[in-house]
Amino acid sequence: MNTKITTLNKLPVNETGFIYDIQCSENVKRRLLDLGIVKNTCIKTILKSPSNGLKAFSIRGSLIAIRDEDSSSIKIYIK
Amino acid sequence: MGLTKSSMGNTLLNSNIKFNKNQNGFTIALAGNPNVGKSTIFNSLTGLHQHTGNWPGKTVSNATGHCSYKNTDFLLVDIPGTYSILSDSQEEEIARDYICFGNPDATVVVVDSTCLERNLNLVFQIMEITDNVIVCVNLLDEAKKKHIKIDLNLLSELLGVPVVGTIARKKKSLNNLLDTIYKVCNKDIIPKPKKVRYLPIIENKIDLLNSKLKELFNISPNLHRWISLKLLDDEQTIIKSIESHLNINLSNNVSINNIKSDIEEEFSHIDITKSNFKDIITSSIMQRAEQICDDVCTFENSNYSNRDRKIDKILTSKTFGIPIMILFLGIIFWITIVGANYPSQMLFSFFGFIQEHLLSFANYINCPPWLSDMLILGVFRTLTWIISVMLPPMAIFFPLFTFLEDLGYLPRIAFNMDGFFKKCCCSGKQMITMCMGFGCNAAGVVGCRIISSPRERLMAILTNSFVPCNGRFPFLITIATIFIAGSYTGFTGSIISTIAVLFVIILGIFMTLIISKILSKTILKGIPSSFVLELPPYRKPQFGKILVRSIFDRTLFVLGRAICVAAPAGLVIWIFANIGINGESLLNIIANFLNPFASLMGLDGYILTAFIFGIPANEIVLPIILMCYLGNGSLVSLDDTFAIGNILVQNGWTILTAINVMIFTCLHFPCTTTLLTIKKETGKWKWTFLSFIIPTICGIILCMFTTFVYNIFV
Ligand SMILES: Nc1nc2c(ncn2[C@@H]2O[C@H](COP(=O)(O)OP(=O)(O)OP(=O)(O)O)[C@@H](O)[C@H]2O)c(=O)[nH]1
Ligand SMILES: [Mg+2]
């Protein structure tokens, strides 16, 4: 199967990816784990903030806003 | 919006109920992810009115209340929402400490049925700590709307603990929950949690540490597994609180440390390191959660959140997102201004009428003039002015604002604005705390607990008073209505006043950003930290409840506070205005002293004096100004709000004065309660002092600036 590895901030709106690796700082990583964001979790970009710099993603049935700084250190793969 | 007696003011200062234990009954903790309806359940069961709102982080400190069932007394503890017990923000730490060490008789974990998978993460974590867990699957009505079906019996079987389905807004659905709580407490049901099994090697090491703990310390065996897990994880903050709460010493224990380093050595060969241990644990939990959800949930319609998505697309769109936000705020202000005008007038006339009669009555019973003056013109008049000015706008503004809050719009505001806050090195959640500041700055300051980075939290605390609270907001409205709109009446007038108020509020937001930026470059240096915020689904607000609660709470609150603060203040002011040296009243002396400085700011000495006297409570600023002016003039009673306008003009107010008063109302020192709350929240007088001085300096500079500009052009 064709898979492409990229970072979460580059996932366009309405596209779906899967978490591959979380390389954020300790605190952020813990927060993401708390939200159930682990390897292979399905994630979809939903909204972009009008003031730029953050996006909202649909994760396990809820909508979570994450700043680009953090989402750029989350690796995802797209099938 | 926090505005009952228990949620603001002085009571905030001693609201840290930590580890209450019910002496003659059972203690029940209500835990769960943020925004799943814990406080709603708590309110229904206890009949109390904890604030609920559709955004994560509404509850920031533990609250307790009683309820009884089958002649048994239950002490319920509503704890702040938390995603996990490895938490980092302060309100989550409060939650963690209670869940881990509060030792309740049963812990009810409330979960959101529309996103069960994630919620199970916390359930499993709590099941590591205690066996007496009851899972309450709430929001079943929303699940039904989204066509999600959950097999509760199967869920209970898979988890090994009792599971109850509820709809917190419907009181009837909670009977089952109470019954289960009762049975668990009385050991009629004994939960046997089926904990997550981690990798065999990890389980093996947990057992090893378990037996060591058993040997070394005399602590409840329930906790062994959990402590072992934390030792493996090497989570320092939690280990520290375990040590202090259980009074044991883990980190300096030689035999434990030996075992730990052996394990570390062994783990390193199989690629389990400190940094990926949590991933491995959480992955195991989430895998189990996924399996369970696959078994118990049936999704009949996978596009269940389409409607929310459509609304979100508009409310957070690039072009319309922010204008819509301002429009919403504007509409709320406009309705408040238009709606408050008439009742305000009525109250003024009504109280004026009563005052006349009181005076003649005092005369009739031969009451000494100084006494009747003091009580009627001092105490009674101040009191009634405050009620007339404050009550109507509040009774309209707060239900409207609560409506937006319940809808779920507040987190969207934070989402829309976060980009700007990030540029100023602070958190978008600050926007939420500012919204709470509209209700009461002290409540806003406490609400800052939702911001996890200590630096960003401090910035939010220091700038919270840039938002006019309920004590200042009606004052803004009054000035805008009677002065800025001036000769325009009717629709045009109301639009002009709305724009004026909106302008001041936006100025406040703007100043917040600027000051945050300056702070982050000077005394609070740092880079913006992470920002992770859940945007809850839109929910239909409970109109009836909002109306009843806000009007009822608000009316009582305003009246209560008016009596407590305004009456004595009225007395003091009256004394200052009537006692003096060499025939000049103390008030005049102070005002004259301040006058040169005040005129630089485009104000006058009386206005500045009023603001200084207003430190205990901002509500009394306008009455003091009026009292000062009336003391000099001939008018005694006010028939309506327009009479106020006339007095102000007679005393030399121009459009500049009005603008500057509005600016200074928004930007000046916070009230005593807020200051004390800041001291308590930050623990340092330094920050309290800064939070006093920063807005004041901003206000002074800005007023001087407008005066300067005005004097050039006029
Ligand atoms: N439709 C529906 N709405 C509910 C239900 N339970 C709670 N709500 C709403 O969900 C929102 C959140 O409720 P809260 O009780 O404040 O949630 P909480 O868990 O205390 O939240 P935090 O204090 O932030 O952790 C409120 O707007 C409630 O009215 C329910 O069963 N059905
Ligand atoms: Mg709550």
Given this model, what pLDDT does residue B87 score?
62
Q: Is residue B470's pLDDT more than 60? A: yes
Neighbours of B271 (CB within 10 A): 8
* CATH fold of the domain at A4-78: SH3 type barrels. (2.30.30)
Given this model, what pLDDT does residue B89 score?
66
Ligand 1: residues with CB < 6 A are: B 32, 34-40, 52-54, 56-59, 80-81, 138-139, 141-142, 167-169, 406, 539
Please state which of the ranges B439-443, B552-556, B678-682, B698-702 shows the lowest mean pLDDT.
B552-556
User: Average of pLDDT values for B267-276?
Assistant: 81
Residue B74 host element (H or E): strand B72-78
Point out the residue among A33, A66, A69 whose CB comes nearest to the CB of B278: A33
Please report which confidence band the pLDDT of residue B323 belongs to, taking 50, 70 and 90 as the band edges.
very high
| Ligand minimally distant from the alpha carbon of residue B37 | 1
B278 touches chain A (CB under 8 A): yes
Rounded to whole angstroms, the Cα distance separating B4 from B12 reads: 11
User: Average of pLDDT values for B113-133?
Assistant: 90
User: Average of pLDDT values for B379-384?
Assistant: 83
The highest-level CATH class for domain B2-185 is alpha beta
Given this model, what pLDDT does residue B3 score?
44
Percent of chain B with pLDDT over 70: 93
Given this model, what pLDDT does residue A1 score?
58
Rounded to whole angstroms, the Cα distance separating B210 from B200 reads: 15
Given this model, what pLDDT does residue B638 score?
59
Which letter does DSSP use for residue B195 in this model?
A: P
A63, A66, A70, A75, best to mutate vs chain B, most B CBs in 10 Å:
A63
Given this model, what pLDDT does residue B13 score?
41
Neighbours of B523 (CB within 10 A): 13
> What tens digit of pLDDT does each residue of B526-569 get?
777 778 889 998 988 888 888 887 777 766 776 777 778 777 88
Please report which confidence band the pLDDT of residue B159 belongs to, taking 50, 70 and 90 as the band edges.
very high
Note whether B137 and B162 are within 8 A (CB): no
User: Average of pLDDT values for B86-98?
Assistant: 74
Q: Is residue B17's pLDDT more than 80? A: no
Residue B642 host element (H or E): helix B641-650
Q: Is residue B135's pLDDT more than 60? A: yes
Q: Is residue B347's pLDDT more than 80? A: yes
Please report which confidence band the pLDDT of residue B634 belongs to, taking 50, 70 and 90 as the band edges.
very low
Please indicate whether, in this complex, the C-beta atoms of A34 and B283 are within 8 angstroms of each other.
no
A-B CB pairs within 8 A amount to 138
Joined tokens for residue B232: 């493996």
Please indicate whether, in this complex, the C-beta atoms of B532 and A25 are within 8 angstroms of each other.
no
Given this model, what pLDDT does residue B154 score?
93
Please report which confidence band the pLDDT of residue B363 belongs to, taking 50, 70 and 90 as the band edges.
confident
pLDDT tens, N- to C-terminus, chain A (79 residues)? 578 889 998 899 888 999 988 888 877 888 888 888 888 889 999 999 998 889 999 998 889 999 998 889 899 998 8
User: Average of pLDDT values for B204-229?
Assistant: 83
Choice between B425 and B641, residue whose per-residue pLDDT is larger: B425
Q: Is residue B695's pLDDT more than 90? A: yes
Mean pLDDT estimate for chain B? 84
Please report which confidence band the pLDDT of residue B288 belongs to, taking 50, 70 and 90 as the band edges.
very high
Q: Are strands B133-138 and B63-69 parallel, antiparallel or unpaired?
A: unpaired
3-state secondary structure B114-144: HHHHHHHHHHHHHHHHCCCEEEEEECHHHHH
Annotated domain spans of chain B: 2-185, 200-272, 321-713
Rounded to whole angstroms, the Cα distance separating B15 from B676 reads: 13
Please state which of the ranges B344-353, B465-474, B557-566, B619-628 shows the lowest mean pLDDT.
B557-566
Given this model, what pLDDT does residue B19 score?
59
B280 touches chain A (CB under 8 A): no
Residue B240 host element (H or E): helix B236-246
> What tens digit of pLDDT does each residue of B578-626 get?
777 777 788 888 888 998 998 888 888 889 988 988 888 888 888 888 8
Query: What atom of ligand 1 comes closest to residue B57's alpha carbon?
Result: 24
User: Average of pLDDT values for B306-331?
Assistant: 89
Rounded to whole angstroms, the Cα distance separating B669 from B675 reads: 9
Annotated domain spans of chain A: 4-78
In chain A, what residues touch B312 (CB-CB under 8 Å)?
Answer: 46-47, 56, 63
Rounded to whole angstroms, the Cα distance separating B407 from B157 reads: 35
Residue B90 host element (H or E): helix B90-101
B89, B282, B325, B412, best to mutate vs chain A, most A CBs in 10 Å:
B282
Joined tokens for residue B538: 């839109």
- Where residue B425 falls (left for φ over 0; alpha for ψ -120 to 50; beta otherwise) is left
Given this model, what pLDDT does residue B21 score?
64
Q: Give this prediction's pTM.
A: 0.87
Given this model, what pLDDT does residue B272 score?
80
Among residues B139, B267, B407, B321, the alpha carbon closest in space to that of A52 is found at: B321
Query: What atom of ligand 1 comes closest to residue B173's alpha carbon?
Result: 31
Please report which confidence band the pLDDT of residue B158 belongs to, taking 50, 70 and 90 as the band edges.
very high
Q: Is residue B4's pLDDT more than 50? A: no
In chain B, what residues touch A20 (CB-CB under 8 Å)?
Answer: none
Rounded to whole angstroms, the Cα distance separating B1 from B402 reads: 6
> What tens digit of pLDDT does each residue of B50-62 get?
878 877 777 778 8
